[in-house]
Amino acid sequence: MQTLYGLKDAGYEALLVGGSVRDLLLGLNPKDYDVTTDADPEQVQAVFRRCRLIGRRFRLAHVRFGPEIIEVATFRSAPRTPDEEVPDEDAELDDEFDEALEEVDAAPLSNGLDNDHLLHESGRILRDNVYGSMEEDAFRRDFTVNALYYDIRDFAVVDYVGGVADLEAKRLRLIGDPETRYREDPVRMLRAVRFASKLDFVIDPSAAEPIAQLKHLIVDVPPARLFDESLKLFLNAHAEANFDGLRHFGLFDVMFPTVAQALESPRGELAEQIIRLALRSTQNRIKADKPVTPGFLFAAFLWVPVMDLAQRLREEGATPVDALTRAAQDMIAGQVEHVAIPRRFSSMQADIWHMQPRLEFRRGKRPFRMLEHKRFRAAYDFLLLRAQAGDADQDLADWWTRFQEVGQEERQAMADSAPASPGGAPSGRRRRRKRR
Ligand code: ATP
Ligand code: MG
């Protein structure tokens, strides 16, 4: 609010816009507040002491009030590009942008737009940094309910696109021609699913129907942005509903082809159960304000595929440890082509996988070493989830639960009396050596 008044006092227009207006009108608690103004970023900076300009191609101002950062954007006329969503991680977009620029230099596109608008031949927008009027600013947004403005001067909602009516009808409608808008930015298809579950809205048939034809366009979205979107979809209080929505439209299969394949395989039921349990536990943790990590979730997504591949490699003669290592590398390499999971999360994913067979060894010093492992807690949680899905021994899971609860003496007793060799554990080599 101070941001709005600060700009007003300096003689500029300033309005609340987007998700925050939508959420306020729905009686929800907005995640963050976006402000738009006719002041350009430098002018915004001149008004506020604690203000930083961000974004390489489209410049935004971040105004800080204590712990809160308010994003202030200047009215713009073209549909927005993705870079605004991830201002610090748009290197890939820049590459694409440069490539597209070369294309444009070679053969100018006759799309009628001036030089500051750049369309890919697919119709995808790669650059838009043209300032415009507030009305133009409304039309470049995605859904009508996301294009409402709130003017503090007169407490009025400004609606150029019929957003208020759609809000009342609980309906997600794209502004303009749906197919064009999806082609401009295919991520809008994912956003449709996400807002439908978050707001408990229906996707208007005009916005739902084109998805079947256009879902493959998701393949061209930079993997870094898809990772970002998948966090918004799955590290979310509506994670399972989003999973169902994406599956329904076939969008999940484009983002996670290996997982989708596993879901259709003979072990599909188990794969699905593990994914659902992980999504539900994520939801519950979010609702309880507990931390969540994408590493755990992605470990669950790819658990059945990674085990099946490891099994195949063992049949081809690889040792169990080698098979799992190679399968894990393979899975992660395949996945990051679509959804770029940063290394800190994929390494956690791999650790969780690698620790599963190791959790079967309970005799001697090994369980104590496991307990010290920095990923123990995640691996243990994953074991619980597998047990729940019938993929691991419930007794084993219970043993680990108890092992953590009891004191040192009893732990020792538990480790001393544990079975010497776990059934079906992959460390056969070691076991044989012991027997000799
Ligand atoms: P959330 O509650 O998830 O933050 P939001 O509506 O605030 O929802 P943001 O991704 O934060 O969504 O974007 C803020 C606003 O920017 C949106 O309300 C919409 O007006 C506009 N916007 C965001 N992404 C796009 C897009 N891909 N295409 C068009 N407009 C977009
Ligand atoms: Mg937002």
- The per-residue pLDDT for 155 is 85
Distance of CA 32 from the midpoint of ligand 2 (Å): 6
Q: Find the helix or strand (DSSP H, E) in which 76 lies.
A: none
- 336 burial (CB, 10 Å; 0-12 / 13-18 / 19+) is middle
In this structure, the residue with its CA closest to atom 22 of ligand 1 is: 141
Distance between CA 425 and CA 434 in Å, rounded? 14
pTM of the model: 0.86
**pLDDT digit string, tens, across residues 312-357:** 999 999 999 999 999 999 999 999 999 999 999 999 999 999 999 9
- Angle (CA) 151-152-157 rounded to 5° is 35
Catalytic residue among 142, 185, 253, 391: 142
31 lines ligand 1 (CB under 6 A): yes
Instruction: Please identify every residue whose CB atom is under 5 Å from ligand 2, which is an ion.
Output: 19
Which two tokens mark 23?
């959420």
pLDDT over 60 (residue 306): yes
CA of 33 to the centre of ligand 2 (A): 7
Tokens of 193: 């699913």
Say if residue 381's pLDDT is above 60: yes
DSSP state letters, 220-271: GS-HHHHHHHHHHHHSSTTHHHHHHHHHHHTHHHHH-HHHHHHHHSTTHHHH
Q: Is 184 in the pocket of ligand 1 (CB under 6 A)?
A: no
Ligand 1 atom nearest the C-alpha of 184 is 28
Helix (H) or strand (E) holding 23: helix 19-25
Q: Do residues 39 and 190 lie in contact, with contact meaning Cβ atoms separated by under 8 Å?
A: no
332 CA to middle of ligand 1, Å? 29
Residues 45-90 pLDDT 10s? 999 988 999 887 678 999 988 888 899 999 988 654 544 443 333 4
4 in Cβ contact with 32 (< 8 Å): no
Is residue 34 part of the annotated active site? The answer reads yes
381 is catalytic: no
Question: Do residues 276 and 240 lie in contact, with contact meaning Cβ atoms separated by under 8 Å?
Answer: yes
Residue 284 clears pLDDT 60, i.e. is over it: yes
pLDDT tens, 90-112?
433 444 444 443 333 333 333 33
**Closest Cα to atom 14 of ligand 1:** 18
- The answer to whether residue 177 is catalytic is no
Reference 236, options 285, 272, 171; nearest CA is 285
Closest CA to 1 of 137, 147, 163, 153: 153
